[in-house]
Amino acid sequence: MKRICIVLVACFSSGCLFAQNLPGPTGLRTDLLLNTQQVSKSGFPVSINLNKAVENGQYQYATILQSNPSFDWISAKAIKGVSAYRVLLASKPELLKEQKADYWDSKKIMGKQHPLVYKGKPLQSGKTYYWQVQEWDGSGKASAFSTISSFYLATDQNDFSHSPLAASYELPIAQSREKNGTYYLDFGKDGFGQLFFQFNSDQTDSVFIEAAEAMDGGNGFLKNNGNIRYIKLGLLVQKGLHEYQLQWPVNEKRNSRNPIQMPQYMGEVFPFRYVAIRGYKGNLDQGMVKRKLVYYPFDDQASYFHSSDTVLNKVWDLCKYSIKATSFTGYYLDGDRERVPYEADALINQLSHYAVDAEYSIARRSMAYLIDHPTWPTEWSLQNVLMAWNDYLYTGDLSYLKKYYPELQLKMLMPLEEPNGLISTLTGKQTKEFLATIHITKAFDGKQDLKDIVDWPRGGGFIGKEKQYQGETDGFVFCKMNSVVNAFYYRNLVLMARLAKVLGKEADAVFYEQKSKEAFNAFQQVFVDTKTGLVKDGDTTNHSSLHANMFALAFNLVSPSNKTAVVNFIKTRQMACSVYGAQFLLDGLFDAGEADYALELLTSIKERSWYNMIRTGSTISMEAWDKVYKPNLDLNHAWGAAPANLIVRKLMGVEPIEAGASVVHIKPQLGYLQFAQLTTSLIRGKVSIDYMLKGAAANYQIIIPAGIVAQLELKLPYEKARLWIDGKLTNQKASDGKYRVDKLESGKHLIELK
């Protein structure tokens, strides 16, 4: 009996110990990177210890480039109200298993704010380190420690931490053989990749391989557009069973433009969907041809959207895949034609990437690259500050801001300011010295200075029933003072005041806030037509374009008294802007409460629509609405993927409003949709919304991860609808046709308006 009692006590004790520990955190990030312990070779994971991989030199792994990296994690669902956390970092995993740390024990830190920046002993470059984290809930109950994560430190002040490229093998979704022996294969979607074959030939012979992005409208491949890719290459096939990789040729024209090059461990890629094999006399069985698709690490399960509108669902799928497919270099690019980062492309790419996957490092690398490698449009320079603000809101990490704050101040172009508080590129202030401060250092010959762009392309293109003016600027009249440029300038001043405050630069914050007020007043005086309330294109014209008004609306430059006039005018112009301009058009419309019209544009099936990209056969968002509007367009431009972020940020209404997405605003504006389901991943976990309109009542099932608080703003489905939260009727009263909930804690909630 004594022996049995001992066993029971041991079991009971073990049970108590288990009950005292909540599940540990997951999703550990080092310097914003997930899976830093993962080793890969040429894009594929391998089961090799990180230390051994470093010693071997033939493998790839994440490189942490900051000497004081930051740490993030996702709290367990069981945690109700995080009250404290503790991080251990050691040189050996064995120490952590004993809850010891020879480099850093943060001790118990009260609060729930992270990222946590490393503050232990100096880390040595070229070494591997191990860390884990523990949390306490609101009642003081401790969680278990997380699993151990490791990372390799290789400090480099000229880059930001990043992961190696990833890859996956894909088989054709369709295959056929013509009477002449030619094999045709369809991989289903366009993608940047490499081609591998397994041929079993009874003789040594030559075969010809064709790869193409698009069909010509008949039964052949599109060959006559230099930017919609097509290639034909010969391949010597040996007798017997052998494997082959098609080698893509060097693109000399592109290389002359100083593009982002593919890393040596991965090799060159080519965008294609279709393949033809001519001259091969053997059988081509399943699995004998495969595509190696290359991309930056991407979690396909990080986001999900489905609604009652089938067009909207297809647009979402197009844009989500576009973000993955165009990440093949590890930077945000303009497409395959140049493979060069541009600020405007990067801004839309950043927002859309954040919406479909909680991935932040590729944006940072692109932002850092663009600081030193700027492009020529005036507004593009002014988008650096917008990207920096997005980075801070979504990550809460200050390392980019601390490093580039002085550069961001210069990218605002304040030396171009006139006495009235507005800026101009045409008043003689673009000196060689000024341009050098923003890293435009080519010969000052009048061609390398900043030029206002408004939208792109500015001229040319087809004019038809959906278009009034040539180009994509809606007839914008360029003057010495440009309203679109100054809308961006005002937004820069507003955001720089916030960024300065975040960094503790109070004097700068006061200065930029005052400047923003001056710019706002000057904008009203110079650009607003006092008779119509519309925004004019410039200081010496009465012409009002879509762009002048939509950018003013998007950046809060339209006064309440003029809002109706501006919105009504915008709605007469339809989609008189490019795929780039559409980002700001829909931002402004949703923010102005014009969700029905915004949804109409998102789901349009006209020629100037996202659905038209799908209808023309593209599976990645295009550079323009159609070839007739930009004859040299390419089919792999992520700046055409704005709906990926618009659906998440504006339609479903999930946007962070405090650093690191610790507080999110949820403001669904679902128009005529009968149901909609969304999952989007933030750095602290997944937010889910399941909306259903039942008769006249609107139901929302909302899941908020631990560490996040939500503020709700919900439109009444009918005038007398009451607000119910988790089955309980609230005593709240609606205001302006909306209910507002200031603080919805983490967990699963049922919100009913009935």
Q: Are 671 and 596 in contact (CB under 8 A)?
A: yes
Gap between the Cα atoms of 196 and 419, Å rounded: 63
The distance of Cα 105 from the centroid of its chain, to the nearest Å, equals 34
User: Which top CATH class is 166-295?
Assistant: mainly beta
Amino acid at 153: L
Name 651's Cβ contacts closer than 8 Å, sequence gap at least 6.
Answer: 590, 595, 598, 599, 602, 668, 669, 670, 676
pLDDT given at position 531: 97
Gap between the Cα atoms of 701 and 748, Å rounded: 7
- Strand 738-744's sheet: what is its strand order? 654-656, 663-666, 709-715, 738-744
Burial 35-61 (b: 16+ CB within 10 A, else e): bbbbbbbbbeeeebebeebbeeeebbb
Burial 321-354 (b: 16+ CB within 10 A, else e): bbbbbbbbbbbbbbbbbbbbbbbbbbbbbbbbbb
Whether domain 304-651 has CATH 1.50.10.10: yes
pLDDT given at position 448: 72
Asked if the peptide bond before residue 457 counts as cis, ω within 30 degrees of 0, the response is yes
pLDDT given at position 6: 38
pLDDT given at position 20: 55
pLDDT given at position 8: 36
Name 728's Cβ contacts closer than 8 Å, sequence gap at least 6.
Answer: none
Q: Which residue has the tokens 């994560």?
A: 149
Gap between the Cα atoms of 148 and 150, Å rounded: 7
pLDDT given at position 11: 36
E strand intervals along 255-336: 270-278, 289-295, 304-307
DSSP, res 481:
S
What are the domain boundaries of the chain? 22-153, 166-295, 304-651, 664-753
Whether domain 22-153 has CATH 2.60.40.10: yes
DSSP 77-123: TT-SS--EEEEEEESSHHHHHTT--SSEE---EES----EE--SSPP
Beta strand pairing call for 149-153 and 63-64: parallel
Of residues 91, 74, 79, 90, the one with CA closest to residue 26 = 74
Report the CATH architecture of 664-753. Sandwich (2.60)
What angle is formed at CA 171 by the lines to CA 166 and CA 176, rounded to 5 degrees? 150
- Strand 675-682's sheet: what is its strand order? 304-307, 675-682, 685-694, 697-704, 747-753, 723-725, 728-729
pLDDT given at position 461: 81
> What H or E segment, with its residue span, contains residue 2?
helix 2-20
Gap between the Cα atoms of 734 and 715, Å rounded: 9
Q: What is the block-wise mean pLDDT of the chain (754 residues), using blocks of 10 residues?
A: 39 38 94 98 97 94 94 91 94 96 97 89 96 94 96 84 97 96 97 97 96 92 91 97 97 92 98 97 94 98 98 98 98 96 98 98 97 96 98 97 97 98 96 95 67 94 87 97 98 98 98 98 98 98 98 98 98 97 98 98 98 97 95 95 98 97 97 97 98 96 96 96 97 94 96 98
Q: Do domains 22-153 and 304-651 have the same CATH topology?
A: no
DSSP 219-265: SSB--S-SSS-EEEEEEEEPBEEEEEEPPPPP-HHHHTT-PPPPPTT
pLDDT given at position 520: 98
